[in-house]
Amino acid sequence: MLNILKSLYLHLLILINCAIPSNIAVSAERSFTARNGHALFETEHLVPSLSFNISQYLVDKANLKVVALTFDDGPDPQNDTTILKILADNHLHATFFFIGKKLIGKQALITQLMANGNEIANHSYYHPMMTDISAAVQDSNIQMTNSLLYEAGVAPHWFRPPYGDFDQTTVSIAKQHGLDTVLWTIDSQDWKNTKAEIIIDRVISRIHSGAIILFHSTKPETVKALPHIIATLKHDGYSFVTMSEWRSELKKLPKPSIE
């Protein structure tokens, strides 16, 4: 009943938003994705809301040989269960950015993911371009998903805007809900429905220390590519971290001295 009421509330907000002229809702600082219709393979603006930037730290292979695997757009009971097994078989964990409207009825999967040390985070309620919607609808997207995650026993720390599309309003709203906004440094572009071999090549050819790799739970070819990607990175000496572990690792690094 509560979820039905929440859903009605959100749809009311969406209706209200539709009545607002679009030039009020759209920010002048639209993301690369919004301006260009596609995402970058790599971005420097990966954590816009943190008080530090990755470029402030001395990151090289010697001092941060970690990668964060991240999976967007779930929960996807079939693929996420397989991904969970692949991660567990390799004794490693990852971060899952879940869409609020898909969360109903996924408690067993969520519990199992957390029991295996995975991190679960917020990927909006219905996956809009955040800069296309009003601040009120941005807020409800983040707040409703947070509520559902808390009800499921998850305390989320991160928000990833759909399509990597955000502006300062998005970042501020996420922060009000206790979330840091994070993008990625390597986009597998698995959303283009490419074959596993291509996904593997895209990721491995771009791998770097401290990488945050974007995958999508909804893509079966990603599931196929994952064991090879993990094996290659393990062989190359990388360890695998959740987003919160990634932040802790980054904070341990020395800062460059100012000349």
Catalytic residue among 93, 123, 157, 216: 216
- d(CA 127, CA 17) in angstroms, rounded, equals 15
CB atoms within 10 A of CB 206: 15
Q: Are strands 180-181 and 66-74 parallel, antiparallel or unpaired?
A: unpaired
- d(CA 195, CA 219) in angstroms, rounded, equals 10
H-helix or E-strand containing 105?
Answer: none
Stretch that binds Zn ion, among 59-67, 77-85, 159-167, 242-250 (CB under 5 A): 159-167
User: How far, in Å, are 23, 126, 178 from residue 43 at the CA level?
Assistant: 27, 24, 23
- Does the protein bind Zn ion through residue 165 (CB under 5 A)? no
Report how many residues bind Zn ion under the rule CB under 5 A.
Answer: 3
- Does the protein bind Zn ion through residue 76 (CB under 5 A)? no
Report the nearest approach of Zn ion to the CB of residue 24 (Å): 25
- Does the protein bind Zn ion through residue 48 (CB under 5 A)? no
Return left, alpha or beta for 149; rule: phi > 0 is left, psi -120 to 50 is alpha, else beta: alpha
Active site residue 72: yes
Report the nearest approach of Zn ion to the CB of residue 213 (Å): 14
- Does the protein bind Zn ion through residue 162 (CB under 5 A)? yes
- Does the protein bind Zn ion through residue 180 (CB under 5 A)? no
Q: Which of 25, 47, 73, 120 forms a contact with Zn ion (CB under 5 A)?
A: 73
Report the nearest approach of Zn ion to the CB of residue 99 (Å): 7
Report the nearest approach of Zn ion to the CB of residue 166 (Å): 12
Active site residue 235: no
Helix intervals (H) in 40-134: 77-89, 107-115
Residue positions annotated with a catalytic role: 72, 216
